[in-house]
Amino acid sequence: VIKCRAAVAWAPGKPLSVEDVEVAPPKAGEVRIKIVATGICHSDDHVLKGSLPNVEFPVIPGHEGAGIVESIGEGVTSVKPGDKVIPLCLPHCGECNFCRNPDSNFCQKSHISEPQNLLPDKTSRLTCKRKQIHHFLWVSTFAEYTVVPEYAVAKIDAAAPLDKVCLFGCGFSTGYGAAINTAKVKPGSTCAVFGLGGVGLSAVMGCKAARAARIIAVDINKDKSAKAKELGATDCINPRDFKKPIQEVITEMTGQGVDYSFEAIGHADTMIAALASCNMNTGVSVMIGVTDSEISFDPTLLLTGRTWKGTLFGGWRSRECIPKLVSSYLEKKFNLDLLITHTLPFAKVNEGFELLRAGK
């Protein structure tokens, strides 16, 4: 058993508490990982607020990490101690109907099908003050050590800087893949990206990599514009600068709406605005943001031919694709480093959430 620090969410609506925890050794088919770096994603904030469904408290959140294999359980063959890895919040068991379908990147072992609050044998490897602590999406990267099933681990290049590539665990992969895999953005096309946090900026990078001719970046925080332009946005607009709905502004800017739109916020109204801002016949709108509300919308938005899609983890088949993406980063095919705004010591994890909520 390893004793280490972790940020525990004891109950919804409370800040994280940095505690001494005990992490049990991996059982058969499991991997224990020393987490070296972790990003903070808005979904973790949904956990703290208690608005992400099927999460049980107390829990160690975090799902955007990178680390080094410390030990392996019986039967594990794909990684060994010392390997650099990214734990995967979307597993790839390789056996379910989804995993066996080459067009699918979902896995029936993911949280949307069955909660990942305990490991597959329905027990936890995490304890604090003699209490069982729940895992989050099996990965719980807000801990110095964590235990995950082998099929939720991707081995990556030994040269990868873990403090950068942790973003492949969720934010970058999700936004970049939404453009590349889910929308399949074509060269010369027009795109609009709603929300310029880490995921939205990654979607901008995906549109640029797909050689879109025009990328309109949309955010109410004008401080995001410079970075969006550095990453490939051609236009930056703030909905607060206009008296009319932003979808009308985008339609006027482009003549008939964009070819592709992306919503990386998770608000019902911006999801509908993103849908309405794309071409009414051939436009494709991709929802990336996690929302905790239901949506009512005018079905004629779809009746004319638009396509409305969702994406999970950017459409990547996690265990196969994440190592390749990390290699592309090492070959300098895109600059992930620009997404990182602050680097904090682990004890200041709550300050990280304050920066997130402040749009910084």
List the one residue out of 94, 124, 123 whose CA is nearest residue 109.
94
Query: Rounded to whole angstroms, how far apart are CA atoms 311 and 329?
Result: 22
The single residue of 41, 99, 107, 278 carrying the catalytic annotation is: 41
Report the C-alpha gap between 247 and 257 in whole angstroms. Answer: 8
Q: What is the largest CA-CA distance in the chain?
A: 63
Entry field: residues in the chain: 360
How far apart, in whole angstroms, are the C-alpha atoms of residue 337 and residue 335? 5
| Residues in contact with 274: Cβ distance below 8 Å, sequence separation at least 6, in sequence order | 192, 194, 247, 261, 262, 263, 285, 287
Of residues 48, 59, 195, 76, the one with CA closest to residue 118: 59
Angle value at C-alpha 155, between 154 and 160, nearest 5 degrees: 115
- Count other C-beta atoms under 10 Å from residue 42's C-beta: 21
**CB–CB of 305/278 below 8 Å?**
no
Q: Which residues pair with 147 in a beta bridge?
A: 32
- The partner residues of 34 in beta bridges, in order of sequence, read 68, 145
Q: Tell me if residue 267 is catalytic.
A: no
* 41 belongs to the catalytic site: yes
Distances (CA, A) of 272 to 217, 220, 289, 295, 299: 16, 16, 12, 8, 11
| Strands ordered across the beta sheet of 131-133 | 2-8, 17-23, 126-128, 131-133
Candidate list 42, 43, 166, 236, residue with the active-site label: 43
What is the C-alpha R_g of the chain?
20
Whether 93 sits among the annotated catalytic residues: the reply is no
Which of 89, 93, 107, 170 is an active site residue? 170
Which residues belong to the active site?
Answer: 41, 43, 46, 63, 170
